[in-house]
């Protein structure tokens, strides 16, 4: 059992205690002298403080981002300072050659702080993830990782990539003894590592992967082999009721269908629903109404279009009413102050009362 020993002994010739290895604080005569402090911390205590801080940060990172994120940081520095640069998973290639190992340690520490800060901010941000990049390629037997970064806050999220053998596309069939009527074995080989696996497989006529279905009548469909074309069986339809709702432009239908062949029965169809336009846009499918003409953006009463309602507007209104002026569409909308769709004497009357100040609005 290790016992913490402060290496302190009495030096009779000076009548003082001497401090050495294991001491965290220097006190008494040794502490004094340095800026007059009665106690000062040793370099050892500073290292312990940094170590405790890093341990706390790593624990927080593990809680927030998972074990892998914490391990990634640990793998960049060993706790054994003497050995860490020689660790196989610590690469110095990303660092400038002018940096010494203390700079590198500081850079890793800074990275850890940034990672933690982003993770803490996580939850206050509705992340927008980028396309992600492969940060660890999978191997035949081990999973890899895809890392996605939030383009807003920099938070990162890992998703694993299955090992090649689990995913299976690395295997190519090298030989097969299966026939249409005889069971057999299929041998496939990994194109990366050469691993071979052998499966026992049913004869093709017992394997639905090789079936093609054709409706024969209202109750059954024929089953043919896709390899030799032979009729294997005639079995009942796998019928189910379905309903497809009409869309704005496409008909809908309802009836009974076979899951395997093209048989269908009792079929009803529904007319397309047509668009439901509001302000020129279909509220169902978003289609734009080709016939939509938005009402011109004009101020009621400002027939001249100069931004003011005054005598000039009542002048134009009178000329339109008498037929001596040909109004534009915009002018007609501005002149129709009641908004009833037509410009007439009532509008002109309201307009002159507004200008004289006897009314404050046209409602």
Write out the residues near Zn ion by the rule CB under 5 A. 125, 127, 140, 150, 152-153, 155, 180, 190, 192-193, 195, 221, 225, 227-228, 237, 248, 258, 260-261, 263, 275, 282, 284-285, 287
**Distance between CA 306 and CA 299 in Å, rounded?**
10
189 vs 319 by CB, closer to Zn ion: 189
Least distance to Zn ion, CB of residue 339, Å = 29
261 vs 348 by CB, closer to Zn ion: 261
192 vs 278 by CB, closer to Zn ion: 192
260 vs 316 by CB, closer to Zn ion: 260
Least distance to Zn ion, CB of residue 241, Å = 15
**Distance between CA 7 and CA 19 in Å, rounded?**
6
Q: Are 303 and 334 in contact (CB under 8 A)?
A: yes
Beta carbons within 10 angstroms of residue 60's beta carbon: 16
Least distance to Zn ion, CB of residue 240, Å = 11
Q: What is the DSSP string of 70-110?
A: HHHHHTTS-S-TTTGGG-TT---TTS-TT--HHHHHHHHHH
Q: Strand, coil or helix: what is 242? A: strand
Least distance to Zn ion, CB of residue 157, Å = 10
256 vs 312 by CB, closer to Zn ion: 256
**Distance between CA 335 and CA 108 in Å, rounded?**
73
Q: How many helices (H) and strands (E) does the chain have?
A: 8, 18
Least distance to Zn ion, CB of residue 63, Å = 18
Q: Distance between the two ends of the chain, CA-based, in angstroms? A: 95
Q: Are 348 and 317 in contact (CB under 8 A)?
A: yes
214 vs 330 by CB, closer to Zn ion: 214
How far, in Å, are 9, 33, 40, 42, 320 from residue 17 at the CA level? 5, 16, 16, 16, 112
Least distance to Zn ion, CB of residue 129, Å = 8
256 vs 321 by CB, closer to Zn ion: 256
**Distance between CA 200 and CA 182 in Å, rounded?**
11
Beta carbons within 10 angstroms of residue 220's beta carbon: 16
Least distance to Zn ion, CB of residue 224, Å = 8
Least distance to Zn ion, CB of residue 107, Å = 24
32 vs 157 by CB, closer to Zn ion: 157
């Amino acid at each position: 059992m290790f016992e913490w020993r402060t290496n302190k002994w009495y030096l009779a010739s000076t009548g003082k205690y001497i401090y050495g290895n294991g001491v965290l604080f220097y006190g008494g005569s040794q502490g004094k002298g340095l800026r007059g402090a009665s106690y000062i911390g040793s370099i050892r205590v500073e290292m312990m403080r940094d170590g405790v801080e890093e341990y706390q940060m790593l624990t927080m990172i593990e809680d927030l981002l998972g074990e892998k994120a914490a391990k990634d940081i640990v793998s960049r520095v060993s706790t054994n300072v003497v050995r860490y640069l020689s660790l196989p998973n610590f690469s110095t290639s990303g660092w400038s050659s002018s940096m010494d190992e203390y700079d590198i340690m500081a850079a890793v520490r800074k990275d850890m702080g940034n990672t933690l800060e982003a993770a803490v901010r996580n939850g206050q941000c509705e992340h927008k993830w980028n396309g992600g990049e492969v940060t660890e390629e999978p191997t035949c037997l081990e999973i890899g990782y895809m890392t996605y970064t939030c383009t807003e806050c920099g938070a990162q999220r890992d998703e694993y990539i299955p090992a090649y053998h689990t995913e299976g596309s690395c295997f190519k069939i090298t030989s097969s003894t299966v026939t249409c009527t005889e069971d057999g074995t299929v041998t496939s080989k990994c194109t990366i590592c050469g691993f071979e696996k052998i499966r026992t497989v049913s004869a093709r006529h017992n394997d639905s992967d090789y079936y093609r279905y054709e409706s024969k009548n209202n109750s059954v469909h024929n089953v043919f082999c896709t390899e030799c074309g032979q009729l294997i069986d005639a079995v009942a339809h796998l019928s189910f009721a379905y309903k497809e709702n009409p869309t704005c432009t496409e008909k809908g239908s309802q009836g009974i269908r076979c899951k395997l062949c093209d048989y269908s029965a009792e079929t009803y169809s529904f007319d397309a629903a047509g668009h439901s336009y509001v302000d020129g846009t279909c509220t169902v499918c978003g289609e734009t109404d080709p016939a939509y003409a938005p009402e011109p953006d004009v101020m009621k009463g400002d027939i001249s279009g100069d931004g003011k309602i005054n005598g000039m507007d009542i002048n134009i209104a009178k000329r339109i009413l008498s037929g001596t002026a040909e109004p534009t569409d915009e002018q007609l909308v501005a002149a129709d102050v009641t908004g009833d769709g037509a410009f007439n004497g009532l509008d002109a009357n309201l307009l002159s009362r507004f200008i004289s100040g006897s009314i404050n609005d046209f409602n």
